[in-house]
Amino acid sequence: MAFREIELLPDSVTLRVYQNRAWADLATGATVWDAGLVLAHYLAKQHQGEAQQGSRELRRVDSLGVINDRMQIAAMTTCADGTCVVQGKRVLELGAGTGVVGLAAAALGAARVVLTDQEAVTPMLEQNIALNQLHVEASAVAQPLMWGDAAQLQDALAALGGAPDVVLAADCVYQRAALPALVQTISSLLSVQRGGGGGGGGVAGQQPPVVLVAVEERPGGVVEEFLGYLRVVDIAHETVGGVV
């Protein structure tokens, strides 16, 4: 097992992440993938307040912003209120793998972060949380969550302390068979309005969580199929092309 260092903010925020490509039991979950780095740096750029505008700007994401990662940094912008999208927020990461995105959120000031993945992955997540001391500084925790499992989702929300403000996912869109369960989980999270508790209730008129998904374009049209599933369940989204 080896670790890599990921500098998010020069001279101030650097993550250390264990990964092991040879760990067959964890498959893709044991590797830091490029889409995760893109989304982590996206959050860091927002923290710095360095807004960059592309041909299509991610102006305000009320439901689902899909970042198309072509091995480039995606379009940057600040949130509607001018603050970092994760600072002071409750954050849930789906398909966390090594946890680089959730770890970034915690290191950038999130109030509470729950990193979720299959149960076999959670020990490595816990190790990476401890390695960066984020279990103390940002109350980051790992929680098992199989997409589509309602009971595990409720456990994750309970660990988060209520409804999420922000949901993050990176490089989770690559297996066709998993897409329906992923979209079901996203849809469930969008229905848990901020202000509600872990039981799923919400407060009328409050906004659903922001959901940011970083994907890598691969042959075969899986990303387009994912977007099609979103349309079927009436989830609004904005696609943002990668820019440097």
List own/partner pairs for 116-122 with CB under 8 A and 24 or more apart.
116/92, 116/142, 116/143, 116/144, 116/145, 116/156, 117/29, 117/142, 117/144, 117/145, 118/29, 118/144, 118/145, 118/146, 119/144, 119/146, 120/25, 120/26, 120/29, 121/26, 121/29, 121/30, 121/96, 121/97
pLDDT at 84: 55
For residue 142, the number of C-alpha atoms closer than 13 Å in the C-beta half-sphere is: 23
What are 32-74's pLDDT values in tens digits?
778 888 888 888 887 777 434 332 333 333 346 665 444 322 2
What are 139-168's pLDDT values in tens digits?
899 999 999 999 999 999 999 999 998 999
* CA 115, chain centre distance (Å): 9
Domains of the chain: 35-50+60-75+84-194+208-240 (3.40.50.150)
Q: What pTM does this model have? A: 0.81
Strands, DSSP E only, in 128-232?
A: 140-144, 166-170, 210-216
Q: Which residues of the chain have pLDDT under 50?
A: 24, 26, 50-63, 68-80, 82-83, 196-205, 241-244
Backbone φ and ψ for 234, nearest 5 degrees, come out as 65, 45
Average pLDDT, the chain: 76
